[in-house]
Structure 1
Amino acid sequence: MTAAQIAEMASMSQAEVVALAYEEAAGGDVGRALRDAIEDLLVLEDRLAATERLVSRGFVLGSAPTERV
């Protein structure tokens, strides 16, 4: 990578860098890159939804703690 390419990458937004990475991974096929990015996003949304279902909202099943005197 040349200094000019590094400078260009440094000036890009995070979204531009990710888009470029998807395009390069797809061999320059922009349509495939878009489909791959959307597929990855949908997978992440599914994982997030599954994780959110596991997060406690402050309710606990079980007995109340007992006080020691």
Structure 2
Amino acid sequence: MTAAQIAEMLSMSQAEVVALAYEEAAGGDVGRALRDAVEDFLAIEDRLAATERLVSRGFVRGSAPNERV
């Protein structure tokens, strides 16, 4: 990688770097890169939703059974 290429990458936004990585992984096929990115996004969204279902929202503050108040 040349200094000019490094400088160009440093000036890119995070979204541009990710898009370029997907495009390179897809061998330059922009349509495939977009499909891969959307599939990854949907998979992450599903994992996040599953994780959120595991989080309890019903915390109740109280004293322990043997504790005097």
Q: What TM-score do the two structures reach when normalised by structure 1?
A: 0.87
**Residue number in structure 2 paired with 1:48:** 48
Aligned-residue Cα RMSD (Å) equals: 1.6
Q: Distance in 1 between matches of 2:3 and 2:45?
A: 37
Unpaired runs of 5+ residues, structure 2, are none
Q: Structure 1 residue runs of 4+, over 4 Å off?
A: none
The share of aligned pairs that are identical, in percent, is 88
Which amino acid in 2 is paired with 1:44? I
1:58 shift after superposition: 3.4
Q: Provide Cα deviations, 1:17-69, integer angstroms capped at 9, x if missing partner.
A: 00000000000000000000000000000000000000121336xxx621158
Q: What TM-score do the two structures reach when normalised by structure 2?
A: 0.87
Q: Distance in 2 between matches of 1:48 and 1:30?
A: 27
Unpaired runs of 5+ residues, structure 1, are none
